[in-house]
Structure formats: structure tokens, C-alpha cells
């Protein structure tokens, strides 16, 4: 399968997800399978990808502290299979419907602050209740998904996400649309409790509690001790400094006087040996490369060349950044702790410059990348928006030194989890490009 990776990984402030439904009549599905509600094992029945680790941990804490008689009689039962984390994959937030008498009565949200989670009930939840009611009780046999993304200018630092379902009733004979109804839920995920809410403790005890200010309903969240992450300089040892990688980079250096880009997708065989037989070139006089590979392939590195042209960059382009995001989103990276993206250019020094990008924080990068794909489909409008931001900072009018500084700033500004490195012409000595308090780039020699 031939793929030209021109997707992007961008920070979006407001997402709208649309689903179109069709049905034979206006009647709702009223038969509710209670055994599904009481399923002990969580099964995702949302239409979206959710943070299942967080949902399962929260469900466990809730059940361990639940006063079932109190909670079910007063509120109902929590339908965990429809819990939603709204594109958050850092074990921080979820919303879940509470069902009583075969209808959604409340929407509970759970927020983690540091190592404590709080159970809250949305007080302004009429739209959310209708949304979950439609999502759970409407007949899915006629579901036809359609996606739409909308950007909205919000307050500084505020991130809001809306999920919407549109139900369409059609005439079974003519196919004519008889009626449509829209249901939506919006959540603003930030620090603190921006959502109007009250305590909804599973035990019924909403007094005291920790937090700033104390809000009640706080429970310790289990945070696994994570193994120490390798440092960026350590991450280039296995692949970045392998002889096959270095020789491939050197070969790409000879292509910088060509009129098109060249690229390798490096992979590892069963013995861990680097292979460089997946090679491709881009169209003459244009940016980008075309490489043929199979779905399901996993790569150890993506390295390529830039060439001398009027608008070619002296470092990674935005499309290069997009390629990396696409690979992590589609699980095409073999090992995030050793993967490298590389580029050689004819700019900077007399012999040109060469750079690596490494994934310094895999969780941050995966979380960052996942925000900008809707069910695996890249959103073009946000890509164009952030492409403009990138081009204002990293462009062909700048010197190579200016682009280095601005790229480091970009990676840090958007908390990408990526780090930039610069190498010598023999690909032996590499330096991590860091920034001091004055904003000056300070190279840290990886060979020390």
C-alpha cells in the first residue's frame, strides 16, 4: 500500500464530534438490558476511543467504597460501559451516565487532581442527560457515523470538547427524512472544578475531604511507579548510532544536491538488526516522499533528506512533524524509547546540517498526537491552523540557527514530548539542543 504521510499533530482547543443516525420510526428503544448495566468487567460501548485504564481504576475505587443501598436508591446505577474521557489519555478525567428506571437521571464526572480522585454530579446536565439517553437507548442498527470538527476561540488555557449525536428518522418506503434531533454534551477539562457540580460520593459521605478548597468525595488514586525513562542521549544509542543508520544518513547527505527528497523507513528483523531496504523518493521539485509499505509494519526510524530549493527548510518541516504524529497514532513505531526521526539538509554549515528528533516522553507525545485524530482520521482544518503557527517560526527565510531555536521553542510550547538533537557530518557525535533561562540554545554533548 502506498502512503504519503501528510497528516498533522496539533493542539486543538475545541472539538465537535457528529454522528448521524437513521431509524425506521420515531419510537425509542425501550428495552434495556440490565445485565449489561451490572457487568463486572468494563466493556467500551462508547463510539470513541477512551482512556480505559482510568475508567477501570475509577470503577474499582467506586465499587470498593460503594454503599449500594444508599446510592442506587437515591441516584441509580452507574453505567460504566458508556464512560467517556473526552480525548484525555492521562488518567485525569471521565464522565459517566447514571441510570434509574430505564432512563438517564444524572451524569457523574470524576476528576483526578494529583493522586486524588473526586466524584461529582453535574448540576447543569440537561443536555448531557439527553445526550447519554440517546446514546444508550436509541437503536444502533441504523447508525451512520459522520465527523465534523469545529474550532472555537475560548478563554486562555481552557479546553472544551463537545460530543454530539444527531438522530435522523426516515420514511422506510421513500427514504425521506421526517425528523432530526440533535443531542450533545460539552465538558471543559482543566485544573480544578470548572464544571458546575456537587459532591456525589459513592459512600454518601461528602463532608470534609482533601483538595483546594476541600470538596469532599476524595479518594486516593493508585499511581504505579513507572520505570525511569531513558535520557534523550541514551535513546539514540540502539538505532541512531547503529552503523546501518549512520551509513543511511551519510547516503542521504549525498542526495541533498538532488531536486527531490529521499527517505528510508528503517526496521528491525527478528534478531534486532537494522534494515534499510524500504526506500523512497518524492516528486521532483516538491516536498515530501512516497514510500511503499504494508499496514501493520513497525519502524525503528524515519530518516530523509532536504535539498537546495527556494523554500526548502534547514531543519524538520511541519510535514515531517506530521509524519511522526501519524506513525505514533497508527502504532507504526516499534519502540518509542529507541525510535528516531532524522533529516539531513544542505543548509547551515558548508557541508550541511543533520538532526534527530527523539521521543523524550512517550506518554506526552501519544497523548498530544491522539488529540488531533478523530477515529483515526486526521483533521485538516486544525492541521492548517497549526501549520501557519509553525511556518511563522520555522521557515526558509530564517538562518539555520534561528530555525533550530524556534523549533526547540515549538516542541516545548506545545508540550510535545519530543526533543531535538544535532549531529556532526560523520553521524558519530550528537548534541541535545536545550534552552537556558535566557532562551539561548545550549547544546549538551551526548558523548560526554
Pair 209, 237 in one domain: no
Kindly give the pairing relationship between strand 418-423 and strand 353-359: antiparallel
Pair 157, 282 in one domain: no
Q: Which of 220, 242, 271 is the last residue of a domain?
A: 220
Pair 396, 258 in one domain: yes
Contacts of 98 (CB under 8 A, 6+ apart): 75, 76, 77, 78, 79, 104, 105, 106, 107, 108
Pair 115, 186 in one domain: yes
Higher pLDDT pick, 127 / 77: 77
Closest Cα partner for 122 from 105, 134, 103, 102? 105
**110, part of any domain:** yes
Residue 103 DSSP class: E
Kindly give the pairing relationship between strand 279-281 and strand 197-199: unpaired
**156, part of any domain:** yes
pTM beyond cutoff 0.85: no
Closest Cα partner for 383 from 4, 5, 10? 10
Give the residue numbers spanning the domain of 98: 2-220
Span 348-370, pLDDT tens digits: 888 899 999 999 988 888 877 87
Closest Cα partner for 297 from 325, 278, 280, 279? 278
Pair 140, 252 in one domain: no
Is 292:1 a contact under the CB 8 Å cutoff? Answer: yes
Pair 418, 351 in one domain: yes
Q: What is the pLDDT of residue 257?
A: 93
Extract the C-alpha cell encoding 15.
472539538
**What SS3 class is residue 213?**
coil
Is 22:144 a contact under the CB 8 Å cutoff? Answer: yes
Is 388:318 a contact under the CB 8 Å cutoff? Answer: no
Contacts of 248 (CB under 8 A, 6+ apart): 264, 266, 276, 303
- Cα dihedral sign, 136-141-142-144: positive
Name the packing angle between helices 318-329 and 380-393 (round to 10°): 140
Angstrom distance (rounded) from CA 370 to CA 49: 10
Sorting pLDDT into bands at 50, 70 and 90, what band is 44?
Answer: confident
- Other CB atoms within a 10 A radius of the CB of residue 141 amount to 10
Q: What is the pLDDT of residue 367?
A: 78
What mean pLDDT value characterizes the chain?
A: 78
Angstrom distance (rounded) from CA 446 to CA 433: 10
Pair 169, 33 in one domain: yes
Q: What is the pLDDT of residue 13?
A: 29
**225, part of any domain:** no
Strand partners, 20: 144, 166
Pair 336, 359 in one domain: yes
Pair 288, 208 in one domain: no
**137, part of any domain:** yes
Pair 305, 187 in one domain: no
Span 220-241, pLDDT tens digits: 898 765 566 688 999 999 999 9
Span 306-343, pLDDT tens digits: 999 988 999 999 889 888 888 888 888 999 999 999 99
Q: What is the pLDDT of residue 289?
A: 84
Whole-angstrom Cα Rg for the chain: 25
Give Cα separations from 106 to 75, 94, 118, 208 (angstroms).
7, 14, 16, 23
Q: Which of 190, 220, 250 is the last residue of a domain?
A: 220
Span 157-175, pLDDT tens digits: 445 666 665 555 555 566 6
Is 79:136 a contact under the CB 8 Å cutoff? Answer: yes
**93, part of any domain:** yes
Q: Count the alpha carbons within 13 Å of 101 in the hemisphere toward its beta carbon.
A: 5
User: Percent of the chain at pLDDT above 70?
Assistant: 73
**146, part of any domain:** yes
For the cut 70, the answer to whether the pLDDT of residue 294 exceeds it is yes
pLDDT, mean of residues 43-55: 83
Extract the C-alpha cell encoding 242.
547503529
Pair 9, 47 in one domain: yes
**227, part of any domain:** no
Angstrom distance (rounded) from CA 390 to CA 318: 7
**226, part of any domain:** no
Provide the number of structural domains found in the chain.
2
For the cut 90, the answer to whether the pLDDT of residue 26 exceeds it is no
Q: Which of 168, 185, 220 is the last residue of a domain?
A: 220
Pair 207, 267 in one domain: no
Residue 84 DSSP class: B
Amino acid at each position: 500500500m502506498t502512503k504519503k504521510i501528510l497528516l498533522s499533530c496539533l493542539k486543538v482547543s475545541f472539538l465537535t464530534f457528529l454522528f448521524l443516525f437513521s431509524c425506521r420510526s420515531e419510537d425509542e428503544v425501550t428495552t434495556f438490558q440490565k445485565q449489561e448495566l451490572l457487568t463486572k468487567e468494563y466493556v467500551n460501548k462508547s463510539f470513541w476511543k477512551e482512556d480505559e485504564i482510568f475508567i477501570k481504576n475509577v470503577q474499582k475505587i467506586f465499587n470498593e467504597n460503594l454503599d449500594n443501598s444508599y446510592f442506587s436508591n437515591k441516584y441509580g446505577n452507574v453505567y460504566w460501559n458508556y464512560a467517556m474521557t473526552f480525548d484525555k489519555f492521562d488518567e485525569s478525567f471521565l464522565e459517566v451516565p447514571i441510570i434509574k428506571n430505564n432512563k438517564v437521571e444524572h451524569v457523574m464526572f470524576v476528576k483526578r487532581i494529583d493522586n486524588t480522585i473526586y466524584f461529582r454530579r453535574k448540576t447543569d446536565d440537561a443536555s448531557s442527560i439527553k445526550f447519554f439517553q440517546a446514546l444508550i437507548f436509541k437503536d444502533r442498527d441504523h447508525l451512520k457515523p459522520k465527523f465534523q470538527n469545529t474550532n472555537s476561540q475560548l478563554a486562555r488555557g481552557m479546553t472544551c470538547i463537545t460530543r454530539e449525536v444527531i438522530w435522523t428518522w426516515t420514511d422506510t418506503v421513500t427514504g425521506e427524512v421526517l425528523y432530526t434531533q440533535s443531542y450533545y454534551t460539552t465538558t471543559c477539562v482543566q485544573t480544578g472544578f470548572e464544571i458546575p457540580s456537587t459532591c456525589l460520593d459513592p459512600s454518601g459521605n461528602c463532608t470534609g475531604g482533601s483538595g483546594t478548597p476541600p470538596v469532599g468525595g476524595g479518594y486516593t488514586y493508585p499511581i504505579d511507579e513507572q520505570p525511569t525513562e531513558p535520557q534523550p542521549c541514551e535513546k539514540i544509542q540502539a538505532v541512531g548510532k547503529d552503523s546501518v543508520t549512520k551509513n543511511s544518513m551519510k547516503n542521504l547527505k549525498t542526495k541533498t544536491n538532488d531536486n527531490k527528497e529521499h527517505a528510508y523507513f528503517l526496521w528491525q528483523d527478528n534478531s534486532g538488526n537494522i534494515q534499510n531496504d524500504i526506500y523512497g523518493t518524492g516528486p521532483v521539485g516538491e516536498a515530501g516522499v512516497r514510500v511503499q509499505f504494508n499496514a501493520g509494519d513497525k519502524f525503528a526510524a524515519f530518516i530523509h533528506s532536504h535539498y537546495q530549493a527556494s523554500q526548502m527548510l534547514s531543519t524538520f518541516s511541519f510535514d515531517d512533524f506530521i509524519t511522526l504524529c501519524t506513525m505514533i497514532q497508527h502504532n507504526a513505531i516499534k519502540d518509542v524509547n529507541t525510535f528516531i526521526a532524522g533529516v539531513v539538509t544542505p543548509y547551515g554549515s558548508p557541508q550541511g546540517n543533520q538532526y534527530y528528533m527523539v521521543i523524550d516522553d512517550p506518554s506526552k507525545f501519544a497523548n498530544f498526537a491522539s488529540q488531533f485524530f478523530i477515529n483515526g482520521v486526521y483533521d485538516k482544518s486544525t492541521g492548517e491552523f497549526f501549520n501557519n503557527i509553525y511556518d511563522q517560526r520555522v521557515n526558509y527565510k530564517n538562518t539555520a540557527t534561528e530555525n533550530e531555536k524556534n523549533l526547540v521553542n515549538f516542541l516545548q510550547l506545545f508540550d510535545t514530548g519530543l526533543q531535538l538533537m544535532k549531529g556532526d557530518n560523520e553521524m558519530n557525535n550528537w548534541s541535545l539542543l536545550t534552552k537556558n533561562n535566557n532562551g539561548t540554545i545550549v547544546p549538551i554533548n551526548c558523548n560526554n
